[in-house]
Amino acid sequence: KEIDSFPEDFLWGAASAAYQIEGAWNEDGKGPSIWDEFSKIEGKTFEGTNGEVAVDHYHRYKEDISYMKEMGLKAYRFSVAWSRVIPDGEGEINEKGLDFYENLVDELIKNGIEPVLTLYHWDMPQALQDKYGGWESREVIPAFEKYCEALFLRLRDKVKYWVTMNEQNVFTSLGYRWAAHPPAVTDLKRMYAANHVVNLANATAISLFHQLVPKGLIGPSYGYGPIYPLTADPSDVLAAENAEAFNNDWTLDVYCRGTYPKFVMKQLEHLGIAPQVTAEDSRLLTSATPDFLGINYYHGGTVQQNRIEKPENQSSTEKNFSKTDPYLMQPKEEQAMSPEVPMFNGIENPYLEKTKWGWEIDPVGFRVALRRIQSRYDLPVFVTENGLGAIDVLTEDKKIHDDYRIDYLNEHLVEMKKAIADGVEVIGYCAWSFTDLLSWLNGYKKRYGFVYVDRDEHDEKTLERIPKDSFYWYQQVIKENGENLS
Ligand code: GCO
């Protein structure tokens, strides 16, 4: 066997999330989620887009799976909407909700596709937000456990790969630091408190899973980006290490080792914003560690030593969001760090190009990321997301020539192949996304899919599915098990 070839059973996949594709937001007993409510508030999402219909996957999942089969997909990652399974988050189980996901899983298996099920992709039941304050309260942990138990029991014989939390770092910082996602607050103390509760919920789910589904594999999906120093000035290198600790070790150490990095904890204690960790919490966190680490890779970040004084009287939100350009409603990378902690200062990387939405394009960073994760945690890695958001143009003869997406994915796969040759154990790769879907803040302008969906912000149009050029390219990659990637 060639040292740099993909394993025989490599899981070539694609991914999605319930809110971004399903629609049917109030059908068959589903309760409202925080995103159903948040998107109704004026000015929160791009031109007021919401997931009420999304790409209507709830009604068209068989058609979508027929495209997956045509493509030769080996794995499909999707998420379950908690409020479809338990409408108020903690009470009665809605059998129709469970039925939907079981039917979806059956259809995947029938077509030879391995299901990869994400338990939490950001759509907390609104009832739990209202009653307890969502992730800020420990009261949601037993509710989450009950929800997970219902799914484990129903699907344990059919689903082998399970993901607990999707991009905990992203949803807690967008929700509690940047006020861009619900509950839309800017309070670091609350962010760190919520983050700790999510860690406990994650560990609770893993612990229950290991009892109930001993043959399955479970892990969180973390949005990882490696941090670079701007220069070889040792102070910049130190700043990059600080940023890596604050941004990445902070979450990954808890997942994999059950402990918070001491150095970061000390800083947070000093600032009076550290989470309260009890001895019992520590026991749970160290006892329930994942079987693999899911990594969503888009880009990293670059820092220099902190030289800039924070301007007085300016809130983080004012400073960090462009209110005028809807494409920049995501916080920029240089700001998505910890400006309150004067140890590093985010800055643009002069060597990297960016997407239309200001996301750096950094395939080599993917290899760096995979190697850093392997050497720090030594767990199998499942790449659960990677992809390019772009404006795709449908030609008159109904084609989408997305060569830019092919180039992007190809460059990333080449680097992933090198990382495998370097010795990183990668068990699968799910491109983001299978069909086009609703971008949380950017509507349908920003498309990621291999399959185009005919709709825009305000007009559902035909919702017709049209495979893009990248669909046929990925089909070939899968067929050759990545042999000819270069
Ligand atoms: C967007 C984002 C998402 C995320 C995904 C994270 O534009 O809304 O890119 O699609 O990538 O949901 O897990």
Nearest CA to ligand 1 atom 12: 17
What residues form DSSP beta bridges with 465? 453
DSSP 344-369: -EEE--TT--B-TTS-B--HHHHHHH
Residue found under tokens 């070839």: 5
d(CA 331, CA 341): 17
Pocket of ligand 1 (CB under 6 A): 17, 166-167, 296, 385, 389, 432, 439-440, 442, 446
What is the per-residue pLDDT for 88? 98
Angle between helices 188-212 and 279-287 (to 10 degrees): 50
Q: What are the φ and ψ backbone dihedral angles of 447, each rounded to 5 degrees? A: -110, 145
* Substitution candidate for ligand 1 out of 448, 453, 457 with most atoms within 8 A of CB: 448
Given a contact cutoff of 8 angstroms between Cβ atoms, the answer to whether 432 and 296 are in contact is yes
Taken in order of first residue, the domains within the chain and their CATH numbers are 11-479 (3.20.20.80)
Tell me, in angstroms, the distance from the centre of ligand 1 to residue 51's CA: 13
CA atoms within 13 A on the CB side of 166: 23
d(CA 95, CA 165): 23
Secondary structure class of 57 (helix, strand, coil): helix
* Substitution candidate for ligand 1 out of 78, 432, 442 with most atoms within 8 A of CB: 432
Nearest CA to ligand 1 atom 1: 439
Closest CA to 116 of 219, 30, 21: 219
d(CA 21, CA 78): 10
Tell me, in angstroms, the distance from the centre of ligand 1 to residue 326's CA: 15
What is the per-residue pLDDT for 343? 77
The three-state DSSP-derived secondary structure of 295-338 is EECCCCEEEECCCCCCCCCCCHHHHHCCCCCHHHCCCCHHHCCC
Q: Which of these is catalytic: 22, 244, 333, 385?
A: 385
Kindly report the pTM of this predicted structure: 0.93
DSSP state of 216: S
Given a contact cutoff of 8 angstroms between Cβ atoms, the answer to whether 223 and 298 are in contact is yes
In ligand 1, the atom with minimum distance to the C-alpha of 385 is: 13
Separation of CA 478 from chain center: 23
CA atoms within 13 A on the CB side of 295: 34
Closest CA to 47 of 457, 329, 327, 330: 457
Separation of CA 299 from chain center: 13
Q: What ipTM was assigned to the predicted interfaces of this complex?
A: 0.95
* Substitution candidate for ligand 1 out of 123, 388, 439, 441 with most atoms within 8 A of CB: 439
Secondary structure class of 175 (helix, strand, coil): helix
d(CA 470, CA 202): 35
Nearest CA to ligand 1 atom 3: 439
Tell me, in angstroms, the distance from the centre of ligand 1 to residue 440's CA: 7
Tell me, in angstroms, the distance from the centre of ligand 1 to residue 21's CA: 12
What is the per-residue pLDDT for 178? 87
Active site residue 318: no
Nearest CA to ligand 1 atom 9: 439
d(CA 247, CA 169): 8
How confident is the prediction along the chain (486 residues), in pLDDT tens digits per residue? Answer: 455 689 999 999 999 999 999 999 999 999 999 999 999 999 999 888 999 999 999 999 999 999 999 999 999 999 999 999 999 999 999 999 999 999 999 999 999 999 999 999 999 999 999 999 999 999 999 999 999 999 999 999 999 999 999 999 999 999 998 889 999 999 999 999 999 999 999 999 999 999 999 999 999 999 999 999 999 999 999 999 999 999 899 999 999 999 999 989 998 998 899 999 999 999 999 999 999 999 999 999 999 887 654 444 444 433 333 322 222 233 444 344 444 556 788 888 999 999 988 899 999 999 999 999 999 999 999 999 999 999 999 999 999 999 999 999 999 999 999 999 999 999 999 999 999 999 998 899 999 999 999 999 889 999 999 999 999 999 999 999 999 999
Q: What are the φ and ψ backbone dihedral angles of 295, each rounded to 5 degrees? A: -125, 125
Please state, in angstroms and as integers, the Cα–Cα distance from residue 44 to each residue in 52, 54, 185, 337, 358, following that order: 15, 17, 13, 22, 19
List strand residue ranges (DSSP E) for 135-176, in order. Answer: 161-166
Order of strands, edge to edge, in the sheet holding 301-304? Answer: 227-229, 301-304, 345-347
Q: For residue 452, what is the enclosing H or E element?
A: strand 451-453
In ligand 1, the atom with minimum distance to the C-alpha of 439 is: 8
Given a contact cutoff of 8 angstroms between Cβ atoms, the answer to whether 16 and 61 are in contact is no
Rg of the chain, C-alpha, whole Å: 21
Q: Provide the sign of the torsion angle of the four alpha carbons 385, 388, 390, 392, taken in this order.
A: negative
In ligand 1, the atom with minimum distance to the C-alpha of 448 is: 10
What is the per-residue pLDDT for 444? 92
Nearest CA to ligand 1 atom 10: 439
What is the per-residue pLDDT for 327? 26
